[in-house]
Structure formats: C-alpha cells, structure tokens
Amino acid sequence: MLTLPSEYAEAVLDIVERIPPGRVMTYGMIAEILRDHLGRGSARTVGTVMSRYGGGVPWHRVVASNGRLPPGHETEAHARLLSEAVPFRGEHVVVAVARWWPEDNTPA
C-alpha cells in the first residue's frame, strides 16, 4: 500500500522545490522554517522526508549544516551541484556562500 506524504512532508517538498539552481539549504534551515509555521520539525525529520519522498524535487540542493552531501548519493549530488556552479571546499559545499533562504520565510 502506498503511503502518501503528510502535511509536514508536503511542506518540506514545497520548500525544496523552491531552492533555485546554484543554491542550497540545510536540513536544519528547512526544519527551522517548518517549526515556525507548523510548530514542529527537526533536521532529522527533514532528512527522513527527503529519503522517502525527495526523488521528485531537487534533492541535491539539500545538504548537512557542514556542507556534507546527501548520504548514499554523494557522487550524483556533487555532479549536479557542480553543474550549477555551487562552490565546494573539498567534498563539502561552502554553505556560507551557497545558502538560500526564502524571502517570505514560509512554506509554499
């Protein structure tokens, strides 16, 4: 039986869909927005949502707070982010340069 995403999962995916090419958000940044608007959320929960439902959104634009790429998908994410001119230091995204925050700070 197919499990449909919850309201929280839908909100995560809406935010990730809005991240522009060449920019990234961290799991924690997404969780912060959702805590402000839904009253709950954690970086770990965002990661779980991304692993279950993130295939249809630009998943490669969501990274750990230290710039580490999505576990198990490092090679593909690295290639995609390089093609978008995202800056790297070694194998990690330079989050301070590439981070993006929605102007209206709300889930879609």
1 has pLDDT over 50: no
Does some domain include residue 108? no
What is the CATH classification number for the domain harbouring 69?
1.10.10.10
Q: How many domains does the chain have?
A: 1
According to the model, what pLDDT value does residue 105 have?
A: 64
Distances (CA, A) of 48 to 28, 42, 103: 12, 10, 25
Does some domain include residue 1? no
pLDDT, tens only, 3-39: 556 899 999 999 999 999 999 999 999 999 999 888 8
Does some domain include residue 62? yes
pLDDT, tens only, 62-97: 999 999 999 999 999 999 999 999 999 999 999 999
Which position has the higher pLDDT, 1 or 27?
27
According to the model, what pLDDT value does residue 40 have?
A: 84
Does some domain include residue 29? yes
Does some domain include residue 37? yes
For CA atoms 52, 63, 13, 79, give the dihedral sign. negative
